[in-house]
């Protein structure tokens, strides 16, 4: 579960990182870079990040294996931990 959360966070942050790279690339003319950094640009980046997260969630939902049946939790059997599984 944590892997999915970190991957989604990465997809959310991706537009901001691209924009930061663009601003660094534009550093040759700092006045132009100051005009680019606006509230509207941040709103578009946030929207793009949310859209990427939603797209990744849909892809995970479509491509993940369907687990059906009862869940057997992890148990200790003969001194060994038997991991939980879906039967």
Residue 75's pLDDT band (cuts 50, 70, 90): very high
How far apart (Å, rounded) are the C-alpha atoms in residues 8 and 53?
6
Pair 52, 15: CB distance under 8 Å: yes
What the block records as the tokens of 58 is: 């849909």
How far apart (Å, rounded) are the C-alpha atoms in residues 78 and 75?
10
Q: Which helix (H) or strand (E) element contains residue 85?
A: strand 85-86
**Mean per-residue pLDDT over the chain, rounded:** 82
The values of phi and psi at residue 51, to 5°, are -65, -40
- Please state whether the predicted TM-score (pTM) of the whole model is above 0.85: no
Res 8: pLDDT: 81
């Amino acid at each position: 579960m944590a892997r999915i959360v970190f991957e989604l966070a990465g997809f959310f942050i991706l537009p901001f990182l691209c924009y930061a790279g663009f601003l660094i690339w534009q550093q040759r003319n700092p006045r132009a870079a100051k005009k680019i950094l606006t509230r509207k640009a941040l709103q578009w980046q946030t929207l793009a990040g949310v859209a990427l997260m939603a797209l990744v969630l849909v892809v995970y939902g479509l491509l993940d294996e369907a687990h059906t049946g009862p869940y057997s939790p992890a148990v200790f059997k003969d001194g060994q931990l038997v991991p939980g599984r879906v039967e």
